[in-house]
Structure 1
Amino acid sequence: MPASPSTDPKDARGTAPAPDEAIEQGLPTAIVALKVVEALASAPGGLGVTRLAQLLGMPKARVHRHLSVLREHGYVAQDPDTNQYRVGWQMFLLARACNSRFDVVSLARPVLESLRDQVGQTVVISTFSDNEVVVIDLLRGTAPVEISLRPGTRFHHNSVAQGKIVLAFGAQKLRDGYLQQPLPACTPRTIVDPERLAAEIALVRRRGWADAPEELYIGINALAAPLLQADGELFGTLAIVGSIHYLPSTPDPAHVQALLDAAGQISAAMGHTG
């Protein structure tokens, strides 16, 4: 009589499958990566590799491999102090593409259009990572000189007005970490001295807005203000970008006020009441 099929959870080698094999036998690698991102999205404070492996029922080595690939492509970010992982800037772009009806950009669209019409310049919303700001949406201006940007464009914090906002209104550890590393130069006017940048950050914090005349590109300036969430944490930045002819080194007070009013309206739409 032939032997009946075995119900023992072992493979042909007579050994039980490893936990990661048990998961991935039924799930493609891409789905496992999504499960990793899903777990991180449910933990705003971030997760370490050990805890994430426990939640997913996977070995730490396999989880770490997934995290490394996701981090390389911007889908997760790692806190340099705690080594914990959280969702990265690329997820903002993905969320925008998948859920544009309800995201912040859609809520902000009427405000962006009003600001663009007031100042005539390109209006940009950005989010951020530890070292860069990332453009997530924009409305092109009506001025004869148009600034070309696209979602996903990234800039170093010290080279743009949006980055100065992140350093001024973001977490202390982000600011401290950035000031301890070499500061890249884009033009002769880019701030590359840590003490000077620290002083600029303090100024931005006091007045509530930032500029960066010709610090990224010669002939280009930007004004930026913070976008704050209901809990007071920084979501990202709102910026006006244009030629130095239209946005001079000494900005028009009307432009600054229009920017601050628009940023306040978008922040209020996210629940911020400060």
Structure 2
Amino acid sequence: MAQAGPASDDAADASLPTAIVSLQVIEALANAPQGLGVTQLSQQLGMPKARAHRHLRALRDHGYLLQDPVTNQYRVGWQLYLLGKACVGRFDLMTLARPALERLRDAVGQTVVIASYAEQAVAVIDFLRGTSPLEITLRPGSRFSHHASAQGKLVLAYGPATLREQYLARPLEAETPRTITAPQALRDELDRVRRRGWSDAPEELFTGINALAAPLLQAGGALFGTLAIVGSIHYLPAEPDPAHVEALRRTAAELSAMMGYADAS
């Protein structure tokens, strides 16, 4: 009887092309700035350690990953950083999404914002100016705390569980008198966000300002960031117009589909 060789370790994920597995490894490390070890990565991706190690070693040898000589953990390397910069220079999210964003802006009349996120805050990537008499303008790169913003609540509700638990373990500071600062109240709010698929934050971040936000999901369902409409509480009241919510969710679903997300519901 033939002896099982190293290739037999790959049985669980042999259906995936090698290039896709390498991209999954890169994506996992890109979302772990502190780095990952072989065991952590194999557990996270559900693949045998032997296969994870082969991909890590190959990517390291070609400059796409770095390996800490003390901890042996891997993290993104300069070659991958330069590749990312080249891709960003050629593909502009706002350009690709502009037709859908313009339709949303014209439907609601308010500023439309796309944001990404980090451990402690959401960050504005770009925005499209509204058409209402009172215009809200945001600077790309502006950061807002998760618990006080509609976008941040989505991150806590749809993002990694580790991020949510770490954030909820820290003090929640009040941005306005309406900011949610009690951890259990915030957990209840996040449950509500998940149930309805969108969030708001009437006067919780800035007095007189509200935002409605919906998640932007990538292939596989991972959170990419958020799509929001932002405006005066006069135009976006605490009880939002169902038409605004529907337009927001429809556009977020359209952009998510562009990023490869397939809604299984």
TM-score (structure 1 length as normaliser): 0.69
CA contact (8 A) 2:29 2:75 kept: no
Given candidates 225, 234, 244, the residue that maps to 2:233 is: 244
CA contact (8 A) 1:156 1:184 kept: no
Equivalent residue for 2:242?
A: 253
Question: Which blocks of at least 5 consecutive residues in structure 1 are unaligned?
Answer: 1-38, 64-82
In structure 2, do the counterparts of structure 1 residues 178 and 161 end up closer, same or farther at CA, with 3 Å as the change threshold?
Answer: same
SS of corresponding position for 2:202: coil
> Which amino acid is 2:186 matched to?
L
SS of corresponding position for 1:167: helix
Mapping 1:1-274, distance limit 5 Å: 43-44=29-30, 46=32, 47-48=35-36, 56=66, 60=70, 95=85, 99-274=88-263
In structure 2, do the counterparts of structure 1 residues 156 and 58 end up closer, same or farther at CA, with 3 Å as the change threshold?
Answer: closer
User: Residue by residue, what CA displacement relative to the aligned partner does 1:92-140 show, whole Å, maximum 9, x if unpaired?
Assistant: xx85x97354243322111111101111100000000111000001001
CA contact (8 A) 2:66 2:76 kept: no
Instruction: Name which of structure 1's ranges 170-179 and 253-262 shifts more when overlaid on structure 2.
Output: 170-179
Percentage of pairs with the same residue: 56
> Which amino acid is 2:107 matched to?
Q
Question: Partners of 2:193 and 2:28 in 1: how far apart?
Answer: 32
SS of corresponding position for 2:144: strand
Question: Partners of 1:258 and 1:179 in 2: how far apart?
Answer: 31
Question: Partners of 2:106 and 2:257 in 1: how far apart?
Answer: 21
SS of corresponding position for 1:99: helix
CA contact (8 A) 2:30 2:75 kept: no
How far is the alpha carbon of 1:166 from its aligned partner?
A: 0.5
Q: How many residues align?
A: 210
Runs in 1 of length 4+ with deviation above 4 angstroms?
39-42, 48-61, 83-87
CA contact (8 A) 2:217 2:256 kept: yes
Equivalent residue for 2:43?
A: none
SS of corresponding position for 1:144: coil
Question: Partners of 1:205 and 1:101 in 2: how far apart?
Answer: 34
In structure 2, do the counterparts of structure 1 residues 57 and 165 end up closer, same or farther at CA, with 3 Å as the change threshold?
Answer: closer
Question: Partners of 1:243 and 1:191 in 2: how far apart?
Answer: 20
> Which amino acid is 1:183 matched to?
L
Question: Partners of 2:168 and 2:76 in 1: how far apart?
Answer: 22
CA contact (8 A) 1:122 1:141 kept: yes
Q: RMSD between aligned alpha carbons?
A: 2.9
> Which amino acid is 2:227 matched to?
L
How far is the alpha carbon of 1:190 from its aligned partner?
A: 0.5
How far is the alpha carbon of 1:221 from its aligned partner?
A: 0.1
Question: Partners of 1:164 and 1:57 in 2: how far apart?
Answer: 34
SS of corresponding position for 2:114: strand
TM-score (structure 2 length as normaliser): 0.71
SS of corresponding position for 1:113: helix
**Which structure would you say has the larger Rg?**
1
Question: Partners of 2:28 and 2:162 in 1: how far apart?
Answer: 22
> Which amino acid is 2:141 matched to?
G
